[in-house]
Amino acid sequence: METLFNALPGAVAQGLIWGIMAIGVYITYKVLDIADLTVDGTMCTGGAVCIVMLMKGHDIWFCMLCAVAAGMLAGFVTGILYTWMGIPPILAGILTQLSLWSVNLKILGKSNQAVSVDKYDLLVSLRNVKNVPLHKNTILIVAIFCVVIIALLYWFFGTELGCSLRATGCNPSMSRAQGINTKRNIVLGLMISNGLVCLSSALLVQYQGFVDINMGRGAIVIGLAAVIIGNVIFEKIFRNFALKLLSVAIGSVIYYIVLQAVIAMGIDTDLLKILSAAVVAIFLAVPYWKQKYFMKPVKRAGKEGQNA
């Protein structure tokens, strides 16, 4: 129990960092209605770009900005594969993800790279989750990141362009009939999403103090888990778009706390990925089962005439 309690601040920090990634997944999965697998690649790209540039002596903020740009470029590639080359979105994501493996290796020059918080001026680190001054506290810094990102996205999706992006995901043929360039919007959405994933990745490598070529593997599942957990728990109370994004970040924190609890219970950590996948599979199946087995037949005729 005590190990779990000690691990809690770390789980919260890690959960919030992955929360940014999950918000990116939310944009593709929920807003655009695309399961974008590019994220498994970009979840490493951001960190790779960030660390390599940091070691070249650039300012940490500039490094993170470049990481975001790299993610947007990757999203752009997936978008082009989908909209311009007509490749189904899941496959388009897989293709980009696979190419990013090579790209990431080329950026890093090897399969992993450590970066010490003593040597470099990192924004966040797992050493700074407790017993540090408030302005250096990683949980606080990452939480501020989350809040700023949610605020920016809330503003953006309320603009004309943002509204047209939501419409694109909801009903593409209606969107085109209203003069919306759905292809451009899909590319834009994928760019924003992967930009966020890379930002999360850049924070994560600083937090854990290293980047590893494998760190993105299964990222989409963690992202989806966070989206689903947040959705299931807060669906009834969070209606507003900003609150929905917040619920995704909280969902991610819950995921990492549960993960720590499971580890503290002494489970074989080799089994963690299959457990995550099973949880996501079941939660994805619930709405389908609900509709198939528990829906009451709807009476339509007659009623409609009165309403309309």
Partner 1 sequence: MLEVKEIYKTFNPGTVNEKTALDGLSLKLEEGDFVTVIGGNGAGKSTLLNALAGTWFVDEGQIIIDGTDVTKMPEHKRAKFLGRVFQDPMMGTAATMGIDENLALAARRGKSRGLRGGISRKERDEYRELLATLGLGLEDRLTSKVGLLSGGQRQAVTLLMATLQKPRLLLLDEHTAALDPKTAAKVLETTNQIVNASRLTTLMITHNMKDAIANGNRLIMMNKGKVILDIKGEEKKNLHVSDLLQKFEQVSGSELVNDRMMLS
Task: Figure out which of the listed residues 104, 113, 175, 208 binds partner 1, where binding follows CB under 8 A.
Answer: 175
* Total of chain residues touching partner 1, rule CB under 8 A: 29
Token pair, residue 231, equals 């959705």
CB of 154 to partner 1, least distance (A): 12
* 135 or 300: CB nearest partner 1: 300
* 147 or 161: CB nearest partner 1: 161
* Angle at alpha carbon of residue 65, lines to 145 and 117, rounded to 5°: 70
CB 249 within 8 A of CB 20: yes
CB 230: neighbour CB atoms within 10 A? Answer: 28
> Segment 147-166, which members bind partner 1 (CB under 8 A)?
156, 158-164, 166
Task: Figure out which of the listed residues 181, 261, 263, 277 binds partner 1, where binding follows CB under 8 A.
Answer: 181
CB of 306 to partner 1, least distance (A): 9
> Segment 66-85, which members bind partner 1 (CB under 8 A)?
none
CB 255: neighbour CB atoms within 10 A? Answer: 25
Strand, helix or coil at 218? coil
Q: Spell out, one character per residue from 288 to 307, where the chain touches partner 1: x when CB under 8 A holds, - when not.
A: -------------xxxxx-x
Question: Which one of 120-128, 172-180, 214-222, 257-265 is the stretch in contact with partner 1 (CB under 8 A)?
Answer: 172-180
Q: Radius of gyration over alpha carbons of the chain, in Å?
A: 20
| Separation CA 221–CA 212 (nearest Å) | 18
CB of 74 to partner 1, least distance (A): 24
| Separation CA 189–CA 71 (nearest Å) | 12
Asked whether position 173 contacts partner 1 by CB under 8 A, the answer is yes
Token pair, residue 65, equals 């900005």
Query: Cα torsion for 203, 208, 210, 214, to the nearest 10°?
Result: -90
Binding site for partner 1 (CB under 8 A): 156, 158-164, 166-167, 170-171, 173-182, 301-305, 307-308
